Amino acid sequence: MCQWQCCYLSVSRDRHVQTNELRTCHYCSNSAAALSPAGSTSAVSCYSSLSSPACKAIVDELNHSISLVDPKKTINVGSFRLNPDGTMKDKKVPFARSETHLSELLDGVCNSMSDYALYVDPVTQHKQYRRFAPRSSASTDDFPDFKNFQFDGPEASNDLKFACETLVEELEEEIISVLSRDRQENVHEELCSRVSDHCKDSSRANEEL
């Protein structure tokens, strides 16, 4: 039995055409095809178990990039209200969490998935994806203990990147909506809960085909 579910409802590399794709997960001993009956696509699910770690990584990466922006920097987004002379009123919002900035960040966020690897808790043996690559601004005290990471080559990070790209393609508006708010309490839980619900809905729809 695989530790991770290995089926995908995938988005092709050009991020425009959806295809049902059975892929072999790097960390599974069985291919995705072995998990479903011959000739059947009913077992193909949304993003595999990587949807949750990919979601958390997206939030972490975006919040870090947002934190680097001068909070006083603003962007003019216009307004539907008119001045007395008929000209459009200016409306400025903080640039850091603006739709423009978040869209720009999402375009490249999945490239950061190569900085993540499976971390094994030395006490509980629980496995989860964590960032192992220190950020440029990090001090040497923040360097992780690499002996607790499993580095399984580029295949593992490619799987996480694939899940990230799928999430961004499917839920870009949801991600921007959540991260554009000023209050960011429990943002991981809220966004990744939406991802989970969307994934379940997509899986059910696919099973009905």
Q: What is the pLDDT of residue 80?
A: 63
Size (the chain), residues: 209
Q: What is the pLDDT of residue 153?
A: 76
139-to-50, 57, 136, 144 alpha-carbon distances in Å: 29, 21, 8, 11
Q: What is the pLDDT of residue 27?
A: 40
Residue 59 sits at the vertex; the CA angle it makes with 129 and 167, to the nearest 5 degrees, is: 80
* pTM for this entry: 0.70
Tell me if 54 sits within 8 A of 106, measured CB to CB: no
**For the chain, what are the domain ranges?**
7-207
Give dist(CA 24, CA 151) in Å, integer.
Answer: 18
Q: What is the pLDDT of residue 141?
A: 62
Q: Which residues contact 16 (CB under 8 A, 6 or more apart)?
A: none
30-50 CB burial, b ≥16 within 10 A, e <16? eebeebeeeeeeebbbbbbbb
Q: Which position has the token pair 């059975």? A: 22
Give dist(CA 88, CA 108) in Å, integer.
Answer: 33
Q: In tens digits, what is the pLDDT along the chain, a chain of 209 residues? A: 333 333 333 333 344 334 444 444 444 333 333 333 333 332 234 456 788 899 999 999 999 999 999 999 999 886 666 677 767 677 888 999 999 999 999 999 999 999 999 999 999 999 999 999 888 766 656 677 788 999 887 777 889 999 999 999 989 999 999 999 877 778 888 888 877 776 666 555 555 55
Give dist(CA 184, CA 28) in Å, integer.
Answer: 35
